[in-house]
Structures are given as C-alpha cells and as structure tokens.
Amino acid sequence: MVDEKPQEDVLDCLVAGGGPAGLTAALYASRSGMTTLVLEGKTTVSQITVTDIIENYPGVPQAGGFEFHDRIRTQALGFGARASAEDVQSLKKTTLENGLEAWEVVTGDNSYRALSVIIASGARWRSLGVPGEEKFLGRGVSYCATCDGPFYRGRSVAVVGGGDTAIQEALFLTKFADKVTVIHRRERLRAAAILQERAFANPKIDFYWNGVIEGIEGDDFVKGVKVRNLGENGEITTLPLDGVFIFIGLDPQTEFVKGVVNLDDGGYIITDSSMRTSQRGIFAAGDCIAKSLRQVVTACGDGATAAHEASLHVDDLKGRSY
Ligand SMILES: Cc1cc2nc3c(=O)[nH]c(=O)nc-3n(C[C@H](O)[C@H](O)[C@H](O)COP(=O)(O)OP(=O)(O)OC[C@H]3O[C@@H](n4cnc5c(N)ncnc54)[C@H](O)[C@@H]3O)c2cc1C
C-alpha cells in the first residue's frame, strides 16, 4: 500500500557519472521538476575534459573539451540539479517506508535513496603505458579517429592494434592522412576478414608486424615512435610520424553494477532504445552502454532519453502518470 506522503530524503533521480551523458540527464531531469543529484566521480574524470578541441557537436563549430563540459554542467545546475564528487560503489533495491520501490546507492562517503537511477559512468580507453603517451595526449596521441582524424590531413600516422576497431579506424584515417602505418604485436591481424581485405588493398596503409611501441617522442607535438621488433633481432627503430592512434581496447566503467543490471560480454550495460536496463528504475546512458558510436552527441542524446524515461517511471511510481 503506497502512502501519499512524499519522502523528503528520497531523490527522484540520482545520476552516476558527470560526463556529457550524466550532465545532460541531470539537465533534463531537473528541468522536468525531479529532485536530481549527479555523482560526478571522485577518482576519475569525464573523457571530454581531457579532449583538446571538439568540432563535431552540431551547432558548436569549435570548443575546448573542458569548457564544453563546464557549460553543460552550469546549465544542469541552473535548473536545480545538485552535484557531488563521489564514486558510486554499489546499488541495491529497497522499499521505502511509504511502500514505494526505490534504489539505495552507496558511495565511499554517503548512502542515498532514489526512485530512479541513471548510470552514465563512461568507458576508458586502454593505454599503452609507455613514455610520452600521457605527455602528448591531444598533441599527437589519440584514442579516437572520429574525433581527431580530420586534424591529420596530409600527415603520416600510426594505428596501434590489430582488432576490428584498429583496422576500421585505420581505414577511416586514410580519408585524411597520406600514410597510415598499422603497428601490431603479432604477425597477423585479429580483425574480421573483410576489414583485413580492405586494409591490405588500401595503398595508404602499410604494416609493421611484431612491433611494440616503447616510447612516443616529439617536442610540442609527436614527431615519432620508438618500436621494438619482437622477432629474432629485437631491434628498436624510430618511425617518424605526426600522430599515434591507440586502439588496444576500451573498458566500460561498470564494475559497480555487475550483478545488478545485465551487461554484454564486453561489460557494457544492455539497454533498450528507451535507455531502460534489465532493472526497473535503472536507466543507462553514454559510453558505458552497448552501442555502436561513442561520441559526445550520442552521449547527450542517450542522457536526455534516459532522463525522460526516468521521469515517466517516477510519475508512474507516484501515481501521477498520464
Ligand atoms: C582524447 C579524446 C578525444 C575525444 N574527442 C571527441 C570529439 O572530438 N568529439 C566527440 O564527440 N567525442 C570525443 N571523444 C569521446 C567523448 O569524450 C565521449 O564519447 C564522451 O565523453 C562520453 O560521455 P559519457 O558521459 O558517456 O562518459 P564520460 O565523459 O567518460 O564521463 C563518465 C563520467 O562518469 C564518472 N564515473 C565513472 N565511474 C563512476 C562511478 N563509479 N561513480 C560515479 N561516477 C563515475 C566519471 O568520473 C565521469 O564523470 C573523445 C574522447 C577522448 C578520450
């Protein structure tokens, strides 16, 4: 039996993640009148804040990543959303004193109760962990060809990796770069046969087999990479180039929802087109969900949809849906 009394200490919507997906969700949720808290993460940051320049968000010809992030955040807080730098550690179903179904969200610092939860915790590109990689991030080192490819018109770049993503992105980069060298630690690719055929047939792509990058060098921008040959001679050569695109895997930040919502084999949250997960009241958005394009524009779209659906869910719980 549901009691009509509102529970003051219970949020309508809790958003886990303060990137474009989470902040857009918070913007839509708070603007629709829901009490909204965004937990922005304490030990991680949004990928967009480490992005030098964005030039593929419609209506925004060019913006710094940090500035772009800050503008969405200010807009969300302007509609009444609150924000706190905390990492969500776990969440579990609970029943409120008034009988409503809710979720209890535990962070390292606090515990919150919310009628709806939106997971927008993003994903992290795997890094090589070699000298120069961090230093030249955004200045020749990239983890995203869609984002940074157009900056390399007429240049020479390397792609690191041998899977589907690496080869797809190498092919994409040939639209801009004059030369794309695929550096792979084995002597054959893992990518799908059709991608391999296209890559082998493309005159702009060449291959460095059995190679591992030992370091990335340059001054203000990348000028070359040091590659060690894993074959018999083990020699180290320096390849002169202008950019290095690293595609050795992506890890969704979804550890804390394992066993709570359904994930795919890669650990991404499975949603339907309304951003609903396998659990009633939990929605997900952005790079942490199973989908084909991980970009700011898709993250924002997912966030808006998730907040809209969360608001319908909360209305439904409170008996106000129409
Ligand atoms: C170098 C680089 C350049 C890029 N350039 C472009 C570009 O030009 N254009 C473009 O469209 N896209 C670009 N992208 C991709 C874009 O940044 C992402 O697609 C976008 O940021 C995804 O948004 P998101 O909100 O899903 O995740 P993120 O932006 O990654 O945000 C995730 C948020 O969740 C938080 N978080 C993580 N775990 C927890 C937890 N347990 N509890 C609470 N919070 C948590 C993090 O701290 C962060 O605030 C680029 C990415 C990189 C790395």
* Domain containing residue 200: CATH number: 3.50.50.60
Judgement on whether residues 133 and 105 belong to the same structural domain of the protein = no
Residue 2 belongs to some domain of the structure = no
Round to whole Å and give the CA distance between 157 and 140: 9
- Residue closest via CA to ligand 1's atom 26 equals 286
Domain stops at, among 246, 273, 292: 246
- Residue closest via CA to ligand 1's atom 14 equals 295
Residue 1 belongs to some domain of the structure = no
258 Cβ contact list (under 8 Å, min separation 6): 267
Q: Which tens digit of pLDDT belongs to each residue from 198-255?
A: 999 999 999 999 999 999 999 999 999 999 999 878 899 999 999 999 999 889 999 9
How many A from CA of 251 to the centre of ligand 1? 12
How many A from CA of 123 to the centre of ligand 1? 7
Judgement on whether residues 132 and 166 belong to the same structural domain of the protein = yes
**Residues lining ligand 1, CB < 6 A?**
16-22, 39-41, 44-48, 50-51, 54, 56, 87-88, 120-122, 125, 142-144, 147, 253, 256, 286-287, 294-297, 299
Q: Which domain holds residue 216?
A: 127-246
Judgement on whether residues 30 and 100 belong to the same structural domain of the protein = yes
Q: At residue 164, does pLDDT exceed 60?
A: yes
Residue 5 belongs to some domain of the structure = no
Category of 288 on φ-ψ map: left (φ > 0), alpha (ψ -120 to 50) or beta: alpha
Judgement on whether residues 199 and 292 belong to the same structural domain of the protein = no
Active site residue 13: no
Residue 22 belongs to some domain of the structure = yes
Judgement on whether residues 120 and 132 belong to the same structural domain of the protein = no
Residue 287 belongs to some domain of the structure = yes
Q: What is the pLDDT of residue 249?
A: 87
The catalytic residue among 52, 70, 87, 144 is 144
Judgement on whether residues 16 and 29 belong to the same structural domain of the protein = yes
Residue 4 belongs to some domain of the structure = no
Judgement on whether residues 109 and 132 belong to the same structural domain of the protein = no
Active site residue 147: yes
Domain stops at, among 187, 212, 246: 246
Active site residue 300: no
Judgement on whether residues 93 and 114 belong to the same structural domain of the protein = yes
219 Cβ contact list (under 8 Å, min separation 6): none
Judgement on whether residues 132 and 32 belong to the same structural domain of the protein = no
Cβ neighbours around 275 below 10 Å, total: 28
Judgement on whether residues 227 and 300 belong to the same structural domain of the protein = no
> How many folded domains does the chain comprise?
2
Phi and psi for 75 in degrees, rounded to 5? -65, -40
Q: pLDDT averaged over the chain? A: 94
Residue 322 belongs to some domain of the structure = no
Judgement on whether residues 204 and 159 belong to the same structural domain of the protein = yes
Q: Which tens digit of pLDDT belongs to each residue from 69-125?
A: 999 999 999 999 999 999 999 999 999 998 999 999 999 889 999 999 999 999 998
Round to whole Å and give the CA distance between 260 and 123: 18
Q: Which tens digit of pLDDT belongs to each residue from 253-296?
A: 999 999 999 999 999 999 999 999 999 999 999 999 999 999 99
Cβ neighbours around 224 below 10 Å, total: 20
Residue 83 belongs to some domain of the structure = yes
Q: What does the block give as tokens for 164?
A: 């589907």
Phi and psi for 40 in degrees, rounded to 5? -85, -5
Please compute the mean of the pLDDT values over residues 174-197 and round it to a whole number. 95
Domain stops at, among 229, 246, 263: 246
More confident residue, 145 or 77: 77
User: Considering the entire predicted model, what is its pTM?
Assistant: 0.85
For the chain, give the longest Cα–Cα distance: 76
Judgement on whether residues 70 and 215 belong to the same structural domain of the protein = no
